[in-house]
Amino acid sequence: MEKTWRWFGKKDKITLPMLRQIGVEGIVTALHEVPNGEIWTVEAINDLKSYIESYGLRWSVVESLPVCEAIKYAGTEREQLIENYKVSLANLGKCGVKTVCYNFMPVIDWIRTDLQYPWPDGTSSLYYDRIRFAYFDIKILEREGAEKDYTEEELHKVAELDKVITETEKDDLIDTIIVKTQGFVNGNIKEGDKNPVAIFKRLLGLYKDIDRDALRENMCYFLSAIMPVCDEYGINMCVHPDDPPFQVLGLPRIVTNEEDIAWFLNAVDNPHNGLTFCAGSLSAGAHNDTRELAKKFAGRTHFVHLRSTETMPGGNFIESSHLSGRGHLIDRLVELVPGGDHIAKCRQGFLSHVREQIAHCHRCCGDRPFHAFNLLVKTAGITVNGDSDAFICHIISPHPKKRHSHIP
């Protein structure tokens, strides 16, 4: 078992000495200062790797090596960007960093409408309010045809909200949906950008002619191109499910459910083409049963985020505590971790290739604002029962070719 932590580099207020003191062993991070699409050099990778190792830790997982938009919509720069990606992967392999989490979500990554939603116990967590998101889509973004994506009841609620919402609340929605959640690392829009709504509209326009089939084709093209590098260096690519796992803003989303996951695994049927099993993202969709998905895709799951969410009436969902919600986290470990039946009995007994990370938890006691990777609650998650509760783990198979490949 290796307990790991998402760390955002040398400027992160949560430092490596802090992490080592609470029992963290491995680090999940990236070269956040390198612009999307540029090559990660051996020198830059080894510099960060050596820095991490100087504190008695190791760089266990890359999250993320971003896939540029032009690769997703097949722009004119696609070939060069894929070549750069292949070089970066090879350089990671040469440096011994061999698990890469990425996503294939167009324009917008994870979506929430509230970053500090209050709970009765005084903590706060991430929250998605469908009506407020619809308001952003229809009234702020003014996306053409947006009304067709919502029911008559939802449109009525949007109209009622329009009568009472303040300018400050509108600004907060913009900041939350397309600035803070997208720009804190490697995003298309960053804090300080002028007129983020206009930037966002231009990005949406790049996908005007891209439907689900086209995006699937582009994902298959990308994966087919990089698999020879993954084979050579033993690198596991682990796509993160769409968050939330349903269509938004007229954009195609193609990693949302059982059928989607089976499709991309079979389309490029290579054991290095794998899944990041994020129980939090998948459980945010009422159509998904994380227990069944874990059983079906365990053989191609190289990386696990054992978060949990709870769905609510009207299409809303909230980040739940680690032992509640639709994520069924202990059950997930039983399915996904070899020897995981021990966890159901004592929440211990992991094998050496499991990477554990506490993530997307409640915020309390003055923990850092907005972001989900909070020190105090995550520390509590690591130390429940005096040992590890393994709420979020990274599974890195030491023998990927021995894991079954084709998904029925």
Predicted pLDDT of residue 24: 84
Nearest to 336 by CA among 260, 397, 264, 256: 397
Q: What digits encode the pLDDT tens for the residues 179-214?
A: 887 755 666 777 777 789 999 999 999 999 999 999
Nearest to 176 by CA among 200, 208, 150, 151: 200
Q: Which of 53-62, 121-130, 277-286, 379-388 bottoms out in mean pLDDT, i.e. has the lowest?
A: 379-388
Q: What digits encode the pLDDT tens for the residues 329-363?
A: 666 566 665 544 433 333 322 223 334 444 455 55
Tokens of 337: 């971790």
Predicted pLDDT of residue 304: 81
Per-residue confidence band for 408, with pLDDT thresholds at 50, 70 and 90: low
Q: What digits encode the pLDDT tens for the residues 285-312?
A: 999 999 899 889 988 988 888 788 888 8
Could you give the CA distance from residue 32 to residue 27 in angstroms, rounded to a whole number? Answer: 14
Predicted pLDDT of residue 346: 30
Sign of the CA dihedral with 81 first, then 87, 90, and 95 last: negative
- Mean pLDDT computed over 127-143: 97
Q: Which of 33-47, 92-106, 135-149, 378-392 bottoms out in mean pLDDT, i.e. has the lowest?
A: 378-392
Per-residue confidence band for 46, with pLDDT thresholds at 50, 70 and 90: very high
95: phi then psi, degrees, rounded to nearest 5 = -90, 0
Enumerate residues 6+ apart whose C-beta is below 8 A from 160.
none
Tokens of 237: 């690519």
Tokens of 405: 């490949």
CB 394 within 8 A of CB 262: no
**SS3 at position 260:** helix
Angle of helix 258-267 relative to helix 290-297, nearest 10 degrees? 20
> How many CA atoms does the CB half-sphere of 270 hold within 13 Å?
19
For residue 3, the cross-strand partners are 356
Nearest to 45 by CA among 191, 262, 235, 188: 235
Residue pointed to by tokens 């706060």: 124
**SS3 at position 345:** helix
Per-residue confidence band for 399, with pLDDT thresholds at 50, 70 and 90: very low
Nearest to 288 by CA among 320, 312, 311: 311
Predicted pLDDT of residue 3: 75
Predicted pLDDT of residue 298: 87
CB 394 within 8 A of CB 29: no
Predicted pLDDT of residue 216: 98
- Mean pLDDT computed over 38-58: 97
Nearest to 60 by CA among 103, 12, 99: 99
